[in-house]
Amino acid sequence: MKKDITIFQKKVYNAASLIPKGKVSTYALLAAVIARPGAARAVGNALNKNPYAPKVPCHRVVKSDGCIGGFASGSKNKREILKTEGVLVNKNKIVDFENKLYKF
- Catalytic-role residue among 16, 58, 62, 87: 58
Contact positions with DNA (CB under 7 A) in 74-103: none
Q: What angle do the packed helices 27-34 and 7-18 form, to 10 degrees?
A: 120
Contact positions with DNA (CB under 7 A) in 4-33: 4, 6-9, 26-28
Could you confirm whether 67 is annotated as catalytic?
no
Show Cβ contacts of residue 26 under 8 Å, excluding neighbours closer than 6 positions.
40, 61, 62, 63, 64, 101
Site residues for DNA per CB under 7 A:
4, 6-9, 26-28, 35-36, 38-50, 58-59, 61, 63-65, 69-72
